[in-house]
Structure 1
Amino acid sequence: MIRMLRLRRAIGDLLYLLDHGYPRESAVNFVSNHYRLPREQRHLLARCVFSKREAGEHRRKLVRMRGVRGRRLGVDGYNVLITIESLLTGKTVVLCNDGVLRDLRAIFGKYRVRPATLRAVSALVQLLERAGPREVIVFFDKQVSHSGELAADVRARLKSAGLRGNSLAVAGVDPRLRGFEVVASSDRAVIKRARAVWDIPQELLRLKGVPSPKVVRVTGSGINLFRRKPSFAGRGRGPRSASVSSDRRRRLSSRI
């Protein structure tokens, strides 16, 4: 309980600093150190808490499955598959205050293909069939072991499903996603440059295509833990701003 209260206050302080224009990295480090947060909670602040302005920009780009039909779709392969794996294996995921579902395991550099990976690929391709994009390209970072084999497997599955597209292992995924009508990624830098964003893991959870995991929701007043599938907010207004007392505002402004 004490640890959760500390995290709620940390989120509120970080939101205050971000909303008042403080540099993101400095604000995250300051708040994390001030509250002596463990690594996973620091990662949550870094990946899942956005200023009201930035959260709103992200939300306005989010589309549902019907917004993908007939359009060119670029998929950030590992970013999407790792989060789907978390859903399939009951790991905790976070519904961030920008409306995007994210995984906090930070295993990208150590990623290994395993049985859950193949289940995640199957879930991905089945959803793509339902979505009906005009073309879909799935990109995997070739620096990760066995990316070539995984890309080949996805490519074969796309062909078998009758989907026009490709799956490639490339050096530098982010630049490859530019120019697509819709991108599937939870990466902040990718979302910033995208025209429209499809949150594939969240779509799967909406459709009950995966077991109900633990879903942590980041809001303007802290965090909430859902043991069942929450009602998701896509486009529209974000959560209300955190309430920070005037004393805390003065302390925060003077210390950072």
Structure 2
Amino acid sequence: MDSKLRIVRRGTDPQDDRWFSKEAILKLQKAQEELEWLLNRGYNNKSLMNMIGNHYQFSVRQRNALTRSTSSKEKRNNRKEKCVTLAYCKNNCIYIDGFNLIITLEVALSEGILVLCNDGTMRDLAGLRGTYSVIDKTDLALNLIGKELNNTDISKVEFFLDAGVSNSGRLKKFILEHAESWNVSTEVELKQQVDSFLYTKERVVTSDSIILDNCKSWLNLGRKIIEDYVYDQNIVDLAGKI
């Protein structure tokens, strides 16, 4: 690992022990049942979150966890139907939503809050908006991605990074440096509209809900890597009732 990389606990908050205590998670799970019931009947998510969040007096971070983890039954089932395995992708290329996967793994490695969502994904609460910096956990995250890919028969990997995000060029270089030791052909591309580009693809690696709703098929690779290799997990279970 580059000794110059900053040591950072990505996606953590000093209040997390209070906001995601056992009692708080039970309250979030109850609120999620109510939220999903209303979503299934066509109500608007944003207005619902204001109402439910105010009723339970949730913090902004708790509201984000609830919003990110909860989708309607229709959307949840549609996403799960399009989810494919690594074995399904044998001898094919996979398309990785770079910031989405790497930041989630950085949060996992930082023991930050990960939310197990009702569509089967794991999502973080890092909340990075247009800013990013390579940290010590980036090195570890890329090592885990390479370790997972080396155990597959995937022929090629293409990472896509939002060109407008700060340090995207540095991250591209960092990924390519790591990929030199991987057993799979790897490309990294900076794009202005990553989301809309991935809408057209199969075998997409992301947990972004909008991409999941629009892409042809996707892999739950982030969750698989976390469950396979990250042992000190800080997971809030909002998977709901299956």
TM range (shorter): 0.7 to 0.9
Kindly, what percent of the aligned residue pairs are identical?
A: 28
Can you list the C-alpha shifts for 1:27-46, whole angstroms capped at 9, x where unaligned? Answer: 22222223221011110122
Letter paired with 2:98: G
1:212 is matched with: 232
1:253 is matched with: none
Could you tell me how far apart the structure 1 residues matched to 2:64 and 2:116 are? 14
Could you tell me how far apart the structure 2 residues matched to 1:6 and 1:143 are? 38
The answer to whether the 8 A contact 1:61-1:196 is kept is: yes
* TM-score, normalisation: structure 2: 0.83
Structure 1 portions without partners, runs of 5+: 221-238, 241-256
Q: How far off its partner does 1:206 sit?
A: 3.1
2:14 is matched with: none
Can you list the C-alpha shifts for 1:92-124, whole angstroms capped at 9, x where unaligned? Answer: 211101111111121243422111111111211
Can you list the C-alpha shifts for 1:44-87, whole angstroms capped at 9, x where unaligned? Answer: 12211111111111111222322222222110111100111122
Could you tell me how far apart the structure 1 residues matched to 2:194 and 2:127 are? 17
* Number of aligned positions between the proteins: 221
Q: How far off its partner does 1:190 sit?
A: 0.5
The answer to whether the 8 A contact 1:90-1:211 is kept is: no
Can you list the C-alpha shifts for 1:115-152, whole angstroms capped at 9, x where unaligned? Answer: 11111112112222222322211011122221112112
Q: How far off its partner does 1:175 sit?
A: 2.1
* TM-score, normalisation: structure 1: 0.79
1:116 aligns with 2:137: yes
The answer to whether the 8 A contact 1:71-1:181 is kept is: no
Letter paired with 1:68: C
1:58 is matched with: 79
The answer to whether the 8 A contact 1:152-1:168 is kept is: no
SS at match of 1:70: coil
2:171 is matched with: 150
SS at match of 1:109: coil
Structure 2 portions without partners, runs of 5+: 1-21
Larger Rg: 1
SS at match of 2:230: coil
CA 1:94 to 1:5, structure 2 compared with 1: closer, same or farther past 3 Å? closer
1:81 aligns with 2:102: yes
1:44 aligns with 2:65: yes
1:245 is matched with: none
Letter paired with 2:205: A
1:107 is matched with: 128
Could you tell me how far apart the structure 1 residues matched to 2:147 and 2:71 are? 32
The answer to whether the 8 A contact 1:140-1:169 is kept is: yes
2:146 is matched with: 125
Could you tell me how far apart the structure 2 residues matched to 1:85 and 1:5 are? 26
Q: How far off its partner does 1:154 sit?
A: 1.3
Letter paired with 2:212: I
Letter paired with 1:96: C
The answer to whether the 8 A contact 1:138-1:166 is kept is: yes
SS at match of 1:20: coil
Deviates more, 1:42-51 or 1:209-218: 209-218
- Provide the aligned C-alpha RMSD in A: 1.9
Deviates more, 1:162-171 or 1:140-149: 162-171
SS at match of 2:179: helix
1:195 aligns with 2:228: no
